[in-house]
Structure 1
Amino acid sequence: MIQKIRFYAYEISHVFGNEEREIELSLGTIKNDFWGENIYMVSAIVGKNGAGKSSILKYIKDNYSVNHSYDSIGNIIYFSPHLDYRDDYNFDVDPTNISLDNILRRDLEDIIDDEKEPNESGWKLNPKQDLEYLNTSRQMDFLSSNIREKHPVFSKIFEGLKFGIGNIVLRGSDKREISKESFHNTPQQFREVISKILEKSEAELDDWSSIRVRENKRLINQHEINAYIFKRNLIISFLSIVVSVMERHNDYLSEGVLDIDDSQDAIDLLRKFVKNAKVHPQGHSSKEAKNVFIPQVLELFEFIYAIVDEIKDKDLISNKSFSTKYKNLEKIKDLQKEISNHLAINYYNRRIKINNFLGIQSTDRKLSSGENALLNFYSVLYELIQKIDLENIQKEYILLLDEADLGYHPEWKKRFVNSIVKSLPLFFNFSNFQSKIQIIFTTHDPLTLSDIPRQNVLFLDKNDEEQTIISEQNIETFGANVNELLADSFFISDGLMGDFAKEKIQDLVSFLTFDVESSDEDQPIGAWDEDSAQQLIELVGEQVIQQRLKSLFDIKFNISEKEALQSKINELQQKLKELNEKDSVR
């Protein structure tokens, strides 16, 4: 674990200068039992913009990591919600860097450059939507995990968020114009079958009205119509991916000819194709033929058919998506993974990236930015932990959280420290060992900082040469009033009022106290008059400032004390009248 950081200024020269002087940073003295079970210490680094908070975290990441390499999981994990577009193109993605930059780079590498089928509105799906599906799949992995379900702390962390229902969305390739003439590498004997299944699917989609049921001129089976359409679109989506894979390259000959029975519907034709499609390498005998598909394909289709047939609410299923429980989403996700892996290896004898024809969304509603930020933090951490080899578990882990509270609602910022000290050790409770953790985070928010004792807060400031220095200010933080923390000049140098309001009020004060007759023509006063001055005074929320402005206003416009009192009486009488009217309505 780390209690002090020592380095020479030139090692972080853009922050501390290019000198050879040694710098020592203390991360605190309050440790162990104070923070709870399995936590060594929690420290905060705060400072003015550009003081080097993030640079210090990255220095720790690069210089204090145990077993740090790009093919193993080290003991220092860095998280940042910022999208800075920072990258090091000389190395592979660092697995313990779970910043948004690194997660985005990795996800983009997993997206195949292949045009997707349009959504229900006819718009082409784009890489941003691919990223969304990858992210929501990661979220669902965490939300459906044992760690989230078994520990009550997560119910408190995600209080107000309703999970348990997610969406399946069709994600096939844009292959709507597949025909016998468009094939190039797809095995010869498969082409007619695939074309026939697609033709059947399209014909049945056009014939959806045949299953429509009306009662007193009212449609009563919209959910069944939606399920009927979804099943056909599912077939098209799946076959588009299959053809996309086959068309890339083909070293195989097809085995046998599949008979086509025009009396069968698209669903039955697909079953027949999946059961009987075989390939064998060129130059090899038919005895070496291999099935193109594994049994999980039909298992997946039958499972989805059963789910959509049970849906009675038309709002839970549409032409290209449906909502279902996490338990079902997990099974669908696992089956699709098996199918894609087998299809890639079966056709190429090497692992290639294949588009998923089903996308997964972790919730049936859009999350707010704050909800997404909170969920993403835990999701990417959970994903990383799953990759740690049991033989490579470290006794101690250090988590570097670079403004992880960014974008949180103030209520969540109040909970931030309490949440992480109670939840993060649970991620490092492995089957054979419980690791201890240290947390070092940066923040700009006094709500978060008020949970950290002053001894564990590193204050960074800047000198006149714009070099970073360690501030000697003695600011009490733990349990401190947030307003008092904000009022300290370390955070805000000239008051707690916004600059726009401050300038407006200062300009009004100048107007109210300025003697026009003896004035300088260049006096910088806005275009004020009695009405505009009175309007601004009524808008001011701070009562002391408002009363002072009223006094200046009375003097400026020669309003006598009697007139001022009468005006106040009239104001109070009007408020009393409004209250009486409200009471009479009740």
Structure 2
Amino acid sequence: MELVYLWVKNYKNIVEQGFNFSPRFRCEYDEDTKELKIIDKDETGEFYPKNFFGDNINVTAIVGENGSGKSSLLLGITNSKIIIRRDNQFYTNDFTSEIHKFTNINREKDYDIIYMDFDLIKINPITDFWDFSQQNIYDKNLYKRIENNFSGNVNFNIIKYKENFYNLIIKYNDSFLSELFFYNPIEIRLSDFIKTIPFQDSQSKYINDKIKSVQSKKYSKIKFLTFLYSKIKNNPELSKLKHFDDDISILEKEQDILNYSRFSNQEEIDNIYKLLQVLENKKIHKFSIEDFYKQIYNENREAFFKLTELGYLEVNLKDKTGREYFDLSQGERKLFAEFLMLFNSISKSDKSEIFLVLDEPDLTLHPQWQKNYIKELIKLLFNFPKKKFHIIITSHSPFLLSDLPKENIIFLEKGKQVYPFEDGKQTFGANIHTLLSHGFFMKDGLMGEFAKDKIKSIINYHEELLKKKLTKNENKKQRDEEKVIYEKEYKTKFRQIQSIIGDDYLKQVIKNHLVEIEKILYDEYLIDKEIKKLEDEIERLKRLRK
């Protein structure tokens, strides 16, 4: 299955434009006459790469400068005229043709679209395509800030997000995670608080310190005190401690906790305590996903998430080198979580044909991971040999383009499809400079603008000196004044710039400019110039004498 052609009538900066997504077929559509041509390269003898990514996978990249319409084109897939081909038959939602026989396609019944933005996981069937739920990848370091900012927003459910994240890790540990390219989570552990509850006089101080630590955060405080109250009140061992009654009375005086306890689900609190008892009775403080954990998790799911929320239970995922999940770079964590959720979404789909629409998924990734992205994505899809995929991906990465033939790339410029690579030139395996200059329309070169301004300052200074005609004898005073300025403000700076230029040819060009500048400003250069002129004249006269 593949998306062959997309016609956008009017969406954002794209107006009456057609886009070819298939390396095999080239379509031309006239909106006025409603005439549609579908040119098959198998019939014309034109080259195109066949089954390049496998029998069940096709890939189309969309690239272009900022504002060229990449994201608009992605969203246009759901509200524009399209042609899809599968099993040697063309399907459409809106096209008509006297030449080509089309079968109508139902977007909701016939295929799924899985859409994933680069920083917001948005995985939805086509029916919910315009109504995404925004749930960021769970990040331990950001959790408290998110909690404080969104605790009053019922539309942002960070706990639900965490639940989804852990659900996927547990569900796919045996299949997906064990094969993932860089990360294989292997253990869960209890936090230190659960492992060593101090049954001694210092317990009172410990509890008070805990209470104080959360007093500035009402959202955290309520949940913490509710749990703490339930645990202490019902623990016979704790009741033997000194100052126990004082500790309980401190808790009971907290109006927030009393209100919360009266109106919260007591069954929920009991479940939390029950799970703690199970964990403590088992005396298991560290265990792997493969054994006891799945059973405990599945039987006590709600209580588990309350405990992780309160910090009593840690999910400690390690890779094969011993790095924990939050030791990974932000890009690695993002990639791991996105691939995990993508795997889950594909697994849940009951459709045999799926469009994967990925909006700049390689953004924020280290170049090494950008180089690996297509390879790892294809490897992920090999887990689903009975499904057919058309990956549609936007990117700013030349590394991604070097993995794709130009026939699999849509180049956008100002909302239109263009063809910057001439016949015979390819993107596949091309060097980065070519891909950047052609694929991303960098017409003014690849040098950084800061460096360009620094280098141009030398050239501009040389041009200004030439305009002043300082080599004339009548301008000697002005030349001397300019020489003082040059030595004070420019000489050292210009030589430093020239010395660190990385390109050898450009470095020599700028050196020549500096030589010419100093020839203008320094008398000795004028004398040498005159000597050379006289020597040339002498040589000329000698030749005449012979």
TM-score by length of 2: 0.60
1:444 aligns with 2:444: no
Query: Deviation at 1:293?
Result: 8.1
Distance 1:294 1:531, change over 3 A: closer
Deviation digits for residues 499-534 of structure 1, max 9, x if unmatched? Answer: 000011001122244327448x9x9x9984211111
- After superposition, the CA RMSD in angstroms is 5.2
Q: Which amino acid aligns with 1:145?
A: D
Q: Give the conservation status (yes or no) of the 8 Å contact 2:135–2:158.
A: no
Specify the code of the residue in structure 1 equivalent to 2:133.
Answer: N
Q: Residue type of the partner of 1:23? A: G
What does residue 36 of structure 1 align with?
54
Equivalent residue number for residue 104 of structure 1? 135
Q: 1:471 aligns with which of 418, 433, 439?
A: 418
Structure (1 or 2) with the larger CA radius of gyration: 2
Q: C-alpha distance in 2, partners of 1:175/1:412? A: 42
Cα deviation, residue 194, structure 1: 2.5
Distance 1:410 1:192 in 2: 52
What code does the residue aligned with 1:194 have? Answer: N
Of 94, 98, 114, the residue aligned with 1:77 is: 114
The Cα shift of 1:381 comes to: 1.2
Match of 1:15 among 10, 13, 16: 13
Q: Counterpart of 2:43?
A: none
In structure 2, the residue matched to 1:259 is none
The structural deviation recorded for 1:398 is 1.4
Matching residue of 1:270? none
The secondary structure found in structure 1 opposite 2:23 is coil
Tell me whether 1:148 sits opposite 2:148 in the alignment. no
Equivalent position of 2:285 in the other structure: 307
Structure 2 equivalent of residue 417 of structure 1: 374
Indicate which of 267, 287, 290 corresponds to 1:327: 290
Indicate the residue corresponding to 2:186 in structure 1.
164
Paired residue for 1:383?
344
1:231 maps to which residue? Answer: none
1:381/1:168 Cα in 2 relative to 1: closer, same or farther (>3 Å)?
A: farther
User: Cα distance 1:359–1:143, how it changes in 2: closer, same or farther (>3 A)?
Assistant: same
Aligned to 1:121: none
Contact 1:3 / 1:28 at 8 angstroms: preserved in 2?
no
> How far, CA to CA, are the matches of 2:106 and 2:370 in structure 1?
33
Output one character per residue of 1:27-62: Cα deviation in whole Å (capped at 9) or x when no partner: 3225763212432x1111111211221122222246
Matches within 5 A, 1:339-488: 339-341=300-302, 358-363=313-318, 364=324, 365-388=326-349, 393-426=350-383, 428=384, 434-462=386-414, 468-475=415-422, 476-488=426-438
- Displacement of 1:3: 3.2
* Match of residue 33 from structure 2: none
How far 1:141 moved relative to its partner? 3.5
Residue in structure 2 matched with residue 53 of structure 1 by the alignment? 70
Q: Equivalences for 1:229-308 in 2 at 5 Å? A: 247-249=262-264, 298-303=277-282, 305-307=283-285
Query: Cα offset for 1:458?
Result: 0.9
Distance 1:399 1:83 in 2: 15
| Counterparts in 2 of 1:170 and 1:515: CA distance versus 1, 3 Å | same
1:401 and 1:442 in contact (8 A); partners too: yes
Q: Are the structure 2 counterparts of residues 60 and 292 from structure 1 closer, same or farther at C-alpha, using a change threshold of 3 Å?
A: closer
Aligned to 1:33, the other structure's residue is in SS state coil
CA distance 1:306–1:165, change in 2 (3 Å): closer
AA of the residue aligned to 1:58: L
Matched, 1:491 2:441: yes
What CA deviation, in whole Å up to 9, does each residue of 1:343-377 have, x standing for no partner?
Answer: 99xxxxxxx99967534243425210221122122
> Residue by residue, what CA displacement relative to the aligned partner does 1:125-152 show, whole Å, maximum 9, x if unpaired?
xx99969955863673477232332x4x
Q: Which residue of 1 aligns with 2:452?
A: 502
Query: For the residues of structure 2 that align with 1:73 and 1:201, how far apart are their CA atoms?
Result: 66
Q: Which amino acid aligns with 2:442?
A: I
Deviation at 1:411, TM superposition (A): 1.8
Q: Could you say which residue in structure 1 is the equivalent of 2:510?
A: 549
Please give the TM-score of this superposition, normalised by the length of structure 1: 0.56
CA contact (8 A) 1:82 1:99 kept: no
How far apart, CA to CA, are the structure 2 residues paired with 1:195 and 1:73? 57
Contact 1:425 1:437 in 2 (8 A): no
**8 Å contact from structure 1 (residues 75, 394) kept in 2:** yes
Identical-residue share of aligned pairs (%):
24
The letter for the 1-side match of 2:457 is D
Return the offset for 1:472.
3.4
Contact 2:115/2:124, CA 8 A, preserved across alignment: no
1:287-346 deviation per Cα after TM superposition (whole angstroms, max 9, x unaligned) = xxxx9789765433334x2335xxxxxxxxxxxxxxx54436xx44652452255899xx
Q: Is the 8 A contact 2:159 2:309 kept in 1?
A: no
Matched residue SS, 1:82? coil
Aligned partners of 1:336 and 1:201: how far apart in 2? 32
Residue 137 of structure 1, aligned match among 150, 155, 166? 166
Q: Distance in 1 between matches of 2:495 and 2:390?
A: 56
Give the 3 Å change call, closer, same or farther, for CA 501–130 of structure 1 in structure 2. farther
Native 8 Å contact 2:411 2:417 kept in 1: yes
Distance change (3 Å), C-alpha of 1:455 and 1:80: same
Secondary structure of the 2:300 match is helix
Gaps of 5+ in 1: 88-92, 117-126, 205-235, 237-241, 253-273, 278-290, 309-323, 345-351, 463-467, 562-586
